[in-house]
Structure 1
Amino acid sequence: MAKVYVALGANLENPSAQLDDACIALKELAESSSFQISPYYGSVPMGEVVQPDYINAVASLETQLSPIELLDALQAIEQQQGRVRLEHWGPRTLDLDMLLYDNVTLTSKRLTLPHYGMKQRSFVLVPLFDLAPELVLPCGTPLRSLITPSLQAELQELDTDH
């Protein structure tokens, strides 16, 4: 059984509902009652593409799926919710990124673990910290050491009932 953390993000077609629907699908991948979801946060988009703000969260779950099997399942959920990959860092109905899979370190054509950009993204670090404040990343860095007041100020926790 592997402990996995997945980042969720959406900024099209009712983003909060997109995340709610993704949570339902992710629960189907989780063993027993292992699924947890952070609060939802509002964040500004990355990159130069003009687009609406995002709603982000992080989920944790335990699964028996291999990393690639889980990646396939995450991409299937994205496609079921209308994900179309038109431009890098462009708007999307749903984005699911595998952040961590136990302490596995992996670099392949399809998947990099831990997620290559997670240490630089407030919309990943803050909700991940909500779920696992004592987490130590595979590189040995305590998650707590990456959380700063300015990082937390970049996000707005949303009042949602999920």
Structure 2
Amino acid sequence: MIEILDNLDTLSRPHLDLTAVRMGGVALGAPAISAPRRSIIEAQSSLVVRYRGGTDIDSEYYDADGRRPTLDEVVNHAAQSDGYLYCADKLSYKVRAGTVVGFALYGPHLSHFAHLTSYEGLLAAFGTPDRAREDEAYGDLMGYDAYYWGAQKHVRWDAWDHRISLINLGAFEGNTGP
């Protein structure tokens, strides 16, 4: 089994057997309760109907009755149903029916690819995507989304900062083709 965090070059493969990789010790298909609990700082689940949080603001969750569930309650609900588990080290786990079905990496982990300073460099390193989409806002190019169906992977290129800003694997929209 390949640990992605110990072998980040694995992420550049256009074809990847997702049954043979894990992130942070957690494999796709594993029970979500196996995610590293001590590093989870935020969660998203259907238990939460309103959320308040952000930079330098403690997260607050509210359920349908206006009650404020604890982070542990939200994490437990997400890990046993559907949702997302967000870790302090800029990793996320997508959960469906209590099972990890996707990984996302962002932040400092992607500094491994800092030598790629252009979208063309990304294409040279990762290969031609099965689908690429330009992201524009108000006439400005914000970035590119490159999808590699053979690896069930999405690579986000930030055109403003000239860097990869996100890589996700698994059951995310667009990762498996049309």
With normalisation by structure 2, the TM-score equals: 0.25
Q: Choose between structure 1 and 2: higher strand proportion.
A: 2
The higher radius of gyration belongs to 2
Is the helix fraction higher in 1 or 2?
1
TM-score, length basis structure 1: 0.26
